[in-house]
Amino acid sequence: MKISEVSRRTGVTATTMKYYLREGLVHSGERVGSNQTAYDETHVRRVKLVRALIETGGLSIADTKQVLATLDADDMSLAHTFEAAQHALGVGGASSGTGRPESRDRIAALSTEHGWRTTAENPGFDVAARALDAFSTIGFAPSDEFLDAYASAAATIARADLAALTTRDRPELVAELMVVGTVLGDALIAGLRRLAQENETAELFPVHTTIHNEKDAK
């Protein structure tokens, strides 16, 4: 398979594909002759994965590289790959830094309440703690009930995540699904949350909004 076919089947230009090769996001093909390199299905698959992480997951090239590096070193246990993937993602999206100790403590307490066994190195602590910081910065202190509902939801999601992983047919793809599921799952829950929010709003305030005709309004 030539680069043009990889390009055609993935939607990225040949030039961009070369860029990914240079950056080490995609493994190089087999050189056959002085101006030919052969690519195969694994390259197509990899490019699609890269695009999914970048487009849907919103990762940068550098973050993507990190994540893929943990994927490629797949001689690890499930737990270790998860840990590595989470660390690689860690920074992804939000900026770096550590949440205030106060917020970290609150997340830790929440975690304990829900009986979660976690390690302090889990980047989720910082991500959650910084979100909490941001809430309080703008003058909103989340209630215990609020956090509790979020934690319950997180537990539900995590159970579904692990169930999907363990029922996977091809074990060699588990690590890939784990990594990509972490990123894409965030997007999925964000979208569903928007939908659920609209429904809740409609239920709490039934009169003004849903009554007046939305279809023929335009």
Partner DNA sequence: ACTTGCTGATAGTAACACTATCGATAGTTT
Partner DNA sequence: AAACTATCGATAGTGTTACTATCAGCAAGT
Under the binding rule (CB under 7 A), the answer on residue 60 touching DNA is yes
Under the binding rule (CB under 7 A), the answer on residue 57 touching DNA is no
CA distance 181 to 175: 10
Residue whose token pair is 């550590």: 98
Residue whose token pair is 């060699």: 172
Tell me which of a copy of itself, DNA, none is bound by residue 197, counting a contact when its beta carbon lies within the kind-specific cut-off of 5 to 8 angstroms: a copy of itself
Under the binding rule (CB under 7 A), the answer on residue 137 touching DNA is no
Nearer to a copy of itself, 36 or 40 (CB): 40
Q: Which residues of 110-148 are buried (b: 16+ CB within 10 A; e: fewer)?
A: bbeeeeeeeeeebebbbbbbbebbeeeeeeeeeeeeebe
Among 11, 24, 27, 28, binds DNA (CB under 7 A): 28
Tell me which of DNA, a copy of itself, none is bound by residue 145, counting a contact when its beta carbon lies within the kind-specific cut-off of 5 to 8 angstroms: a copy of itself
CA atoms within 13 A on the CB side of 165: 20
Under the binding rule (CB under 7 A), the answer on residue 52 touching DNA is no
Under the binding rule (CB under 7 A), the answer on residue 37 touching DNA is yes
Tell me which of a copy of itself, DNA, none is bound by residue 22, counting a contact when its beta carbon lies within the kind-specific cut-off of 5 to 8 angstroms: DNA
Tell me which of a copy of itself, DNA, none is bound by residue 15, counting a contact when its beta carbon lies within the kind-specific cut-off of 5 to 8 angstroms: DNA
Among 11, 24, 27, 31, binds DNA (CB under 7 A): 31
Q: What Å distances lie between residue 70 and 40, 122, 175, 179, CA to CA?
A: 22, 16, 9, 9
Instruction: Point out which span in 14-22, 168-176, 194-202, 210-218 binds DNA (CB under 7 A).
Output: 14-22
Q: How far apart are the first and last CA of the chain?
A: 49
Q: Are 43 and 29 in contact (CB under 8 A)?
A: yes
Nearer to a copy of itself, 69 or 94 (CB): 94
Nearer to DNA, 14 or 147 (CB): 14
Residue whose token pair is 């860029």: 19
CA distance 7 to 16: 9
Under the binding rule (CB under 7 A), the answer on residue 62 touching DNA is yes
Footprint of DNA on this chain (CB under 7 A)?
2-5, 13-16, 18-19, 21-22, 28-29, 31, 33-37, 54, 60-62
